[in-house]
Amino acid sequence: MKYTFILILSLFFFTCSSPDQQEVSDAPQTPAVLTTDKIELNEEQIRLAEIKIGSLSQQVISDFVECTGTITLPPQHIMTITPPMGGFVERVNFLPGDYVRKGTLLAVLSHQDYISLQQEYLENASALVYATQEYERQKTLSEGNAAAMKKMQESQKEFQRLKARTMGLAARLRYIGIKPEKIEEKGIQSSIAVFAPADAYVTEVKANPGKYFGEQDELYELIDKSHLHLDLNVFEKDIAKVRKGQKVYFNLNSDSHRMYEGLVLLVGQKLEEAHRAFSVHVDLSQPEDFFRPGMYTQAKIFMQSDSVSAVPEAAIIQQDQHNYVFVKTGNEFIRREVKTGARVNDMVEITNPEVLQDLPVVVRGAYFLEGERGE
């Protein structure tokens, strides 16, 4: 009897305690971690963390062709200055790097041939006056007189010869910068002036006083930088992708981080055998004053010209196959999930830009905020 009571009492305690023990053992063991999508910092904390604020921007992000090239000028904007008639240099006024306006005096030349040409013009002009009078007289005498017709025809021939000769000499004088009608007034001059044909920069000066320069000898070289463009070399494997109007981004060796823009203007049709490449001319959107012909460039020609909404790659937080961006409202930083697309030049396309529209975006310091959020 004693043993039976003990057994029943043991069974009673086992039955009463088992459900509680089972409930405790089956409860899930999850760590208590506090998470939030909001972080609040004061101005001092923002400054110390070097957080930089930007915004959603429009960028061209697409497939592209990489190429190299140089900044160049079209031939019509490179001016070789030669004397209109050979002579000795008396004066040179400029040095390479100088900027000159159209009509600025560049050089003065002198030669005895200038004197001879003016003298010949004056002599022919005087003879033409006499020939004109004689022709008019013979015309009057030949009216109704067949015998006088021959003399009239001879005087007409001489008049026309002298007229043509005088007109030719006058044109030659104007060509070298001397006005024929001013010779009698101002006298014969022994020198001529050479003027700048357009607003331009002086790139080369080959003249010096005392040196003789013929009509084919170069005095100056001038360039008009208002029409700078890119001359890119595109390999034959890529040329089929290039079209007029495509957007181009390029940088210079002197500043590889700054990007400049342009549009494809012309696509060359002749293959350059040495490089197996085609020439592509690019019109610059906003040429800088420091651009110089011959500067080496690295460029990307984008296949599409439409822009998309994008943020810097540093603004994107990647976590568990999701992408997030922090936006700023007052002193609060709020994490928002975004969907990303193509990535080009450290910029990332945002395919749901409405979640960031008109909001300040953290473009530097996003990972610092992410670390603060998880603490």
pLDDT band of residue 370 (cuts 50, 70, 90) is: confident
Percent of all residues in the chain with a pLDDT value above 70, rounded to a whole number: 89
Q: Is the pLDDT of residue 371 over 80?
A: yes
DSSP E strand stretches across 141-209: 191-195, 200-205
Q: Which sequence spans correspond to the domains of the chain?
A: 38-59+308-374, 64-73+228-302, 77-111+190-222, 113-180
Contact 220, 202 (CB under 8 A): yes
Q: What was the pLDDT predicted at 357?
A: 85
What pLDDT is attached to residue 16? 41
Cβ partners under 8 Å of residue 285, min gap 6: 260, 261, 262, 263
* Beta-sheet pairing, 64-72 with 296-302: antiparallel
Q: What is the DSSP letter of 359?
A: -
- Which range has the worst mean pLDDT, 26-30, 65-69, 102-106? 26-30
**169 — phi, psi (to 5°)?**
-65, -40
In this predicted structure, the answer to whether residue 220 has a pLDDT above a threshold of 50 is yes
Q: Which residue has the higher pLDDT, 24 or 348?
A: 348
Is the CB of residue 267 less than 8 Å from the CB of residue 301?
no
Beta-carbon contacts of 177 under 8 Å, excluding residues fewer than 6 positions away, are 84, 192, 193, 194, 195
Does 160 score more than 60 pLDDT? yes
Contact 219, 213 (CB under 8 A): yes
Look at residue 330 in the predicted model and tell me its pLDDT.
84
Residue 290 is given by DSSP the state T
The tokens for 20 are: 């509680």
Distances (CA, A) of 36 to 33, 329, 374: 10, 16, 8
> 64-73+228-302 has which fold?
Elongation Factor Tu (Ef-tu); domain 3 (2.40.30)
Strand partners, 374: none
Comparing 325 with 152, the larger pLDDT belongs to 325
* Rounded Cα–Cα distance for residues 62 and 55 (Å): 21
- State the helix-helix crossing angle for 112-142 and 149-175, rounded to 10 degrees: 150
Average pLDDT, the chain: 85
Whether the per-residue pLDDT at 120 is higher than 50: the answer is yes
- Per residue in 174-190, is it b (16+ CB within 10 Å) or e — as a string? eebbbebeebeeeeeee
Q: What is the mean pLDDT of residues 167-185?
A: 93
Give pLDDT, residue 24.
38
Q: Is the CATH code 2.40.50.100 the one for domain 77-111+190-222?
A: yes
Task: Examine the pLDDT at 89 and tell me if it is beyond 60.
Answer: yes
- Give the pLDDT mean for 315-341: 90
CATH class of the domain at 38-59+308-374: mainly beta
Task: Judge whether residue 93 has pLDDT over 60.
Answer: yes
Can you tell me the mean pLDDT for 293-312?
A: 87
Cα 298 to Cα 279: distance, rounded to the nearest angstrom: 14
CB 301 within 8 A of CB 333: no
Structure tokens at 152: 């009239």
Strand partners, 333: 39, 328
Kindly state the tokens that stand for 43.
Answer: 């101005």
Whether residue 211 has pLDDT greater than 70: yes
Q: Please state the rounded mean pLDDT for residues 194-199.
A: 96
- Contact in structure between 270 and 276 (CB atoms under 8 Å): no
